[in-house]
Amino acid sequence: MVNDNGDCKKWGFSANNEIESASGLTVRGVLNTLKNATNPEDERLTIPLGHGDPSAFPSFITAQVAEDAIVDSLRSSKFNGYSSTVGILPARRSIAEYLSRDLPYKLSPDDVFLTIGCTQAIEIAMMVFARPGANILLPRPGFPYYEACAGYRKLEYRHFDLSPDKGWEVDLEAVEALADENTVGMVIINPGNPCGSVYTYEHLKKVAETAKKLGILVIADEVYGHLTFGSNPFIPMGVFGSIAPVLTLGSISKRWMVPGWRIGWLVASDPNGVFKETKIVDSIISCLNISGDPATFIQAAIPQILEKTTDDFFNNAITILRNSAEFVYDQIKDIDCITCPHKPEGSMFVMVKFNSTLLEDINDDTEFCLQLAKEESLVILPGIAVGLKNWLRISFAVEPTSLQDGLLRLKAFCQRHAKK
Ligand SMILES: *Cc1c(COP(=O)(O)O)cnc(C)c1O
């Protein structure tokens, strides 16, 4: 029987549809909820320690040469047309050169595919490996966009744990135990979101050796590449591409602090040519043929951005991030219900453990963050949003004065709710 609304049951959304549940899983979805929970009558500005976009803060304005590159590209009137679906050659070439600086072999422009930020690189990677019965191994805690993309494409995912007591290294025994003959690959995020970890050469080599043993590839999310400020330098996973094939994902969003420019890359860091041989490269090209491209004039600005940005810009950002990371780490020590197992050494985040038993009336991380948003206009991400219940992810890439203010509010909140 057709009701008054016609046959809408065929296409209307049921309460539990997959798009809604996938988007509820994302960091953005959770942060929107928290932002909406802040009290409009609080005259203080909301302090956003929940997300990783420092671009609005004066201390993190991008390099002038990067802005000039966009202006020059636009003004040339040469880049008003569609680009090729894999990206324009000068941009692919310059990304190949930029990444090859840190590799023991040279990437070719043909190994590089331009994407709409690292986000689309993740989408394409999940699309390429989604086939009936296949599974992929994801880190926990991690970046929930992987789960959302894999789930949406019906690619099964399984979680391996990162160990907080070992600098959030991958539990490689767990990886071996999880993998089976249908496992296609494992994801690592280095420098780490949400943990602020930076893996050593030795650990990354072990990751590659484990992947080789299991016959799987490594998807290396290096969107925070070079944003390191501890004792471990950034080592790209591609260094070990001859042990196991590596798909490197990245963008200029974080290192240049321009996530709104929406340009990134997906790169076959695979000196043995396994991806070509197994037609993975063809599959990437097919996926790009049926998806959108980054704006052509932004692509065309890439060579100037990558070649002309000076170390002054990078060093300045690193110095601020290092000081901010130290500041948060020190302040947390004074808060009883929060502990930090590992001082952040990279990216823009720290994961801290939350002990609800020390508080009067708050039972878990979600309640904590909601109440914090309401009472203090302070937004922090509940760990559950990145896969770890009763942890919190704090972003320290904000203006240092806001960070100080934010930590004061956090302390006041925890004291007010502490068991007497
Ligand atoms: C921010 C982020 C991305 C997305 O990067 P964009 O270039 O902004 O699309 C991907 N992976 C991780 C781990 C991130 O933190």
Question: Taking a C-beta distance cutoff of 8 angstroms, is the pair 358, 331 a contact?
Answer: no
pLDDT in tens, 75-110: 999 999 999 999 999 999 999 999 999 999 999 999
The answer to whether residue 372 scores a pLDDT higher than 60 is yes
23 confidence band (pLDDT: 50, 70, 90): low
Say if ligand 1 is within 6 A of residue 227 CB.
no
6 confidence band (pLDDT: 50, 70, 90): low
281 and 318 both lie in a single domain: no
Say if ligand 1 is within 6 A of residue 117 CB.
yes
Question: Taking a C-beta distance cutoff of 8 angstroms, is the pair 212, 250 a contact?
Answer: no
pLDDT over 90 for what percent of the chain? Answer: 91
**Residue whose CB lies within 8 A of the most ligand 1 atoms, among 26, 118, 261, 395, for a mutation test:** 118
The answer to whether residue 19 scores a pLDDT higher than 90 is no
pLDDT in tens, 108-156: 999 999 999 999 999 999 999 999 999 999 999 999 999 999 999 999 9
- Distance from Cα 414 to the centre of ligand 1, integer Å: 31
279 and 373 both lie in a single domain: no
212 and 230 both lie in a single domain: yes
Say if ligand 1 is within 6 A of residue 63 CB.
no
Q: What does the DSSP assignment read for 107-169?
A: PPGGGEEEESHHHHHHHHHHHHH--TT-EEEEEES--THHHHHHHHTT-EEEEEEEEGGGTTE
- Distance from Cα 199 to the centre of ligand 1, integer Å: 18
pLDDT of residue 276: 96
pLDDT of residue 13: 59
- Distance from Cα 7 to the centre of ligand 1, integer Å: 40
Residue after which a domain boundary falls, among 258, 282, 308: 308
The answer to whether residue 165 scores a pLDDT higher than 50 is yes
Q: What's the start-to-end Cα distance of the chain, in Å?
A: 62
Q: What is the mean pLDDT of residues 46-72?
A: 96
User: CA of 135: how far to CAs of 157, 159, 176, 317, in Å?
Assistant: 5, 11, 13, 38
- Distance from Cα 110 to the centre of ligand 1, integer Å: 23
The answer to whether residue 14 scores a pLDDT higher than 80 is no
pLDDT over 70 for what percent of the chain? Answer: 94
pLDDT of residue 420: 86
pLDDT of residue 30: 87
pLDDT of residue 106: 98
pLDDT in tens, 310-365: 999 999 999 999 999 999 999 999 999 999 999 999 999 999 999 999 999 999 99
Query: Model pTM greater than 0.85?
Result: yes
Residue 284's region, left for phi above 0, alpha for psi from -120 to 50, else beta, is alpha
52 confidence band (pLDDT: 50, 70, 90): confident
Looking at the 3D structure of the chain, how many domains does it have?
2
pLDDT of residue 216: 98
Residue after which a domain boundary falls, among 308, 327, 356: 308
295 and 367 both lie in a single domain: no
55 and 69 both lie in a single domain: no
- Distance from Cα 119 to the centre of ligand 1, integer Å: 6
Residue type, 54: P
Burial class (CB in 10 A: 0-12, 13-18, 19+), 16: exposed
- Distance from Cα 12 to the centre of ligand 1, integer Å: 31
189 and 200 both lie in a single domain: yes
Average pLDDT, the chain: 94
119 and 182 both lie in a single domain: yes
pLDDT of residue 1: 44
Q: What is the mean pLDDT of residues 365-387?
A: 96
Say if ligand 1 is within 6 A of residue 259 CB.
yes
User: CA of 63: how far to CAs of 6, 136, 305, in Å?
Assistant: 55, 37, 9
- Distance from Cα 42 to the centre of ligand 1, integer Å: 31
265 and 409 both lie in a single domain: no
Strand 135-140 with 183-189, pairing: parallel
Q: The domain that contains 232 carries what CATH number?
A: 3.40.640.10
Residue after which a domain boundary falls, among 257, 279, 308: 308
230 and 341 both lie in a single domain: no
Residue nearest to atom 5 of ligand 1 (CA): 118
Bridge partners of residue 48, in order along the sequence: 379
234 and 317 both lie in a single domain: no
Helix (H) or strand (E) segment spanning residue 29: helix 27-37
Say if ligand 1 is within 6 A of residue 304 CB.
no
Q: Which atom of ligand 1 is nearest to the CA of 193?
A: 13
pLDDT of residue 29: 84
113 and 48 both lie in a single domain: no
What does the block give as tokens for 157? 């995912």
Q: Taking Cα atoms as reference points, which of 267, 271, 263, 264 lies closest to residue 281?
A: 267
- Which residue stretches of 364-399 are H helix? 365-376
The answer to whether residue 8 scores a pLDDT higher than 90 is no
371 confidence band (pLDDT: 50, 70, 90): very high
**Residue whose CB lies within 8 A of the most ligand 1 atoms, among 26, 193, 197, for a mutation test:** 193
pLDDT in tens, 169-213: 999 999 999 999 999 999 999 999 999 999 999 999 999 999 999
Question: Taking a C-beta distance cutoff of 8 angstroms, is the pair 315, 383 a contact?
Answer: no
Domain residues for 347?
5-61+312-417
- Distance from Cα 189 to the centre of ligand 1, integer Å: 10
Say if ligand 1 is within 6 A of residue 223 CB.
yes
16 confidence band (pLDDT: 50, 70, 90): low
55 and 106 both lie in a single domain: no
Q: The domain that contains 330 carries what CATH number?
A: 3.90.1150.10
* 3-state DSSP assignment of residue 314: helix
Strand 349-354 with 338-339, pairing: antiparallel
Q: Which atom of ligand 1 is nearest to the CA of 263?
A: 7
pLDDT of residue 2: 46
